[in-house]
C-alpha cells in the first residue's frame, strides 16, 4: 500500500510519522489531499545510500518535520503547501559536517598566510 492510498482512504489521520524508510533506494512520498491530515514527520536516523533521494508532496500538511541523522541523501525535493504553518528541519549531522569543513578551510587559510609571511 502506498502512502497516497493510505491517506486518501483514511477518514482521520492527523499525524503520519515515517522513520528509516527506503534506505537503499529513492523514497517517494505523495500524500493525497485530506482535510483531516495535519502533520508529516520524517526521520532518518540510520545510514542511507548517498546516491538516493527523497521526493515529498504533502499538499494539506499544516506541519512538517524532517530529521536527518548520520548520512544525507543526494537530494531532497519538497513540495510542501504554502498553507504550512510550521516547518522544522533537524539537520545536526549536516551542520556538524559544515562546521568541520569551515574549520578545515580556516586552518588552510591560516597556513597559507603563514607561508606567505615567511616568503615575504
End-to-end CA distance of the chain: 69
From the first residue on, what is the mean pLDDT of each consecutive set of 10 residues in the chain (120 residues)?
Answer: 63 80 84 79 79 83 79 74 71 51 55 68
**C-alpha to C-alpha distance for 27 and 82, rounded to whole angstroms:** 22
Nearest-CA neighbor of 88 among 68, 67, 61, 72? Answer: 67
82 burial (CB, 10 Å; 0-12 / 13-18 / 19+) is exposed
Any idea where the domains of the chain sit in the sequence? 3-91
At 4 the pLDDT is 62
**C-alpha to C-alpha distance for 73 and 44, rounded to whole angstroms:** 10
At 3 the pLDDT is 63
pTM: 0.59
At 86 the pLDDT is 76
CB 66 within 8 A of CB 40: no
At 81 the pLDDT is 64
**C-alpha to C-alpha distance for 86 and 29, rounded to whole angstroms:** 19
CB atoms within 10 A of CB 2: 12
Amino acid at each position: 500500500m502506498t502512502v497516497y492510498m493510505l491517506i486518501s482512504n483514511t477518514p482521520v489521520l492527523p499525524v503520519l510519522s515515517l522513520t528509516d524508510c527506503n534506505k537503499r533506494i529513492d523514497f517517494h512520498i505523495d500524500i493525497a489531499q485530506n482535510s483531516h491530515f495535519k502533520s508529516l514527520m520524517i526521520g532518518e536516523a540510520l545510514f542511507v545510500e548517498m546516491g538516493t533521494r527523497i521526493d515529498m508532496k504533502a499538499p494539506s500538511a499544516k506541519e512538517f518535520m524532517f530529521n536527518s541523522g548520520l548520512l544525507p541523501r543526494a537530494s531532497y525535493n519538497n513540495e510542501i503547501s504554502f498553507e504550512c504553518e510550521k516547518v522544522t528541519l533537524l539537520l545536526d549531522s549536516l551542520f556538524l559536517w559544515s562546521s568541520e569543513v569551515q574549520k578545515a578551510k580556516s586552518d588552510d587559510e591560516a597556513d597559507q598566510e603563514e607561508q606567505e609571511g615567511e616568503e615575504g
